[in-house]
Structures are given as C-alpha cells and as structure tokens.
Amino acid sequence: MIPFLWRIAILLLVTLAYAVFDVFNRRNVPDVFVYAILVIALLVTFTYSVRTMEISLAVAAIIMAAGYVLYRKGIMGAGDFLEFATISLLLPIQPSPILSGLPQFNFPFIFSVFIATGYAAVIGMVSYYLFRACRMGYVRGSKIERRKLYEGIGIFVAYLLLLAFLTYLTGVRIVTIALVLIIGVASALTIMFDKPINRQMVSYIYPSKLTPEDMLATNFMSKSDMGFFEKKSKHFGRLVTKELIRDVKDVKRKIPVYTSGVPLALFAFIAVVVSLLFGNLLLYVII
C-alpha cells in the first residue's frame, strides 16, 4: 500500500497542476494530462483494501456519470468532473483533519471537497468578478432588476433563518455564524449582480473561432439570435461540438462564449487543502 503521506503529496501536486493549467492556460487542461492522471489515480486505488477500493470505485463512477450529464448540458467542463473523479480515487475517505479534532464519520473525501469548492467558488466569484465589474463601471449607475433584488434578499433571509435554527439547536458558535453569514452574503450578491459578474467571463467571437468544448453564454443571446442559430444547427446548445462548428462556421454573426469562466480547478485545489486541514465544513454547521 502506498504510504498515506505519499498519497497526500500526489493529491496536492495533481490538484495544484490542474489549478495552474486552469488559471494560466485559458481554462484549458490538456487531455493527455487529464487522462494520464486519471489512470494513475485508478492504479493507486487498487493498492487499497478491498472495502476501500470498492467505495472508491463506486463513488468515482457516480461522479463520472453525473459529471458527464452536466458536461453534455454545457454546465461543467469535461476536465472538471474528471478531476473530481481523480481526487476521489486518490483519497476515497476523509482522513482526520490536521487542524481539527472534529469527527468525520468516514465520509467520502470528495464530499468534503464538493462542499469546500462550492464555498470557495461563490466567495471567489463575488471577490474577483464583482470587484472587477465595479472597477470597469459595469455596476456603477446600473439598476438591479427587481426580481433579482427580491431573490437575493430571499436567499439572505433563508440563510438567516438557517442560522437562527442552528443557533437554537447547538447554541451560539462563532464558527457557525461566520460560515453561514459569509456564504449568505456572497450568495445574495451573486444573484443580485449575476449579469455584471457573468459579463466578465464572456467574449463575443465569430463562430469560425469556436473550438470543441467551448461553452456558449446563451443567457446573453437575444431570442432572435437563439432562433437563428437553432435553425442553422440541430446541435446548437451551451456545449460547442464539432458538429455545431461545422454547421455555423461560415456565419458572420458574433456569438457570446465563456472565455474567462470560473477557474473551478483553482477552487478545487483550495477545497482539497481546506478539507485536509479542517475536514468537512458542513460538519461545523450541523454538529
């Protein structure tokens, strides 16, 4: 069996490499790297006990099946869900956190990573994209849609009610208050300013410049543009495929594409570090 510290080192190096590619290579992780690391992770899994190996393979299979569905719908990149599967294979069970004595109940490690990734992504989107939108003047002078304002307030109120309920059950705890309020504020701002935030991620390019696995920002397209491209190709959707490119490559009408999307691999790396140090963040809220 591979020593535990070696597995941790491999996990950190792999997720760090994913993050570097995601940030500095235009959100593109080379396929060769993705599949080579996945194979290595699979080989590592076969060094576990039979029970751990069964859990590892089962969880990774579920991640890949669900991830593929999200990928085909243009919600998640192929590299993203394969990275999560790789993380699960490398470290199937949440170990005892380095900086906390909170019991982890042998939950899958990837569960902790999912929670922390979502937390980091929401905070990261507000911290970076909303700040950048303010600097570029996309927020100043613009009005928040009434519906978005109500949704944002509703989300924040929901988090306040959750906090009140948790306080009633477990008493006043600074960690719980901080975790709930931070994610509540970040979630509310993300909803209220979703257009300025998303605008930072989108570029308008001609269809001839599209590449397979690009993600179209269909929420930035008018109904007439949507109808036009749907007529041009039966393959039209959020996910750009070779068939779609073939059908629309000669169109001289620009189309919005997520060229600076959320660097999910960076948040996944942060989540791995946080999960190793503190364990599952959800447990700090519910226990």
List the pLDDT tens digit at each of the 287 positions of the chain.
678 899 999 999 999 999 999 988 878 889 999 999 999 999 999 999 899 999 999 999 999 999 999 998 888 888 999 999 999 999 999 999 999 989 999 999 999 999 999 999 999 888 888 877 777 666 655 567 888 889 999 999 999 999 999 998 888 889 999 999 999 999 999 999 888 888 888 999 999 999 988 999 998 999 999 999 999 999 999 999 999 999 999 999 999 999 888 889 999 999 999 999 999 999 998 88
- What is the rounded CA–CA span in Å between residue 238 and residue 215? 5
- Terminal-to-terminal C-alpha distance of the chain: 33
Confidence (pTM): 0.90
**pLDDT for residue 244:** 95
Q: Cα separation of 218 and 12, whole Å?
A: 35
Alpha carbon 226 to its chain's center: 26
Three-state DSSP at 255 gives strand
The label of the residue with tokens 């779609």 reads 244
Q: Token digits for 260?
A: 């600076």
Place of tokens 């990261």: 124
Alpha carbon distance 78, 80 (integer Å) = 5
Distance from C-alpha of 258 to C-alpha of 202, rounded to nearest angstrom: 5
pLDDT value, residue 80: 93
CA 258 to mean position of chain CA atoms? 14
Quick one: which H or E segment has residue 265?
helix 264-278
Query: In one letter, which amino acid is 81?
Result: F
Q: Tell me what pLDDT residue 77 has.
A: 87
State the DSSP code for 235: T
Pairwise CA distance, residues 129 & 193, whole Å: 10
Q: Rounded distance, CA 212 to CA 207, Å?
A: 11
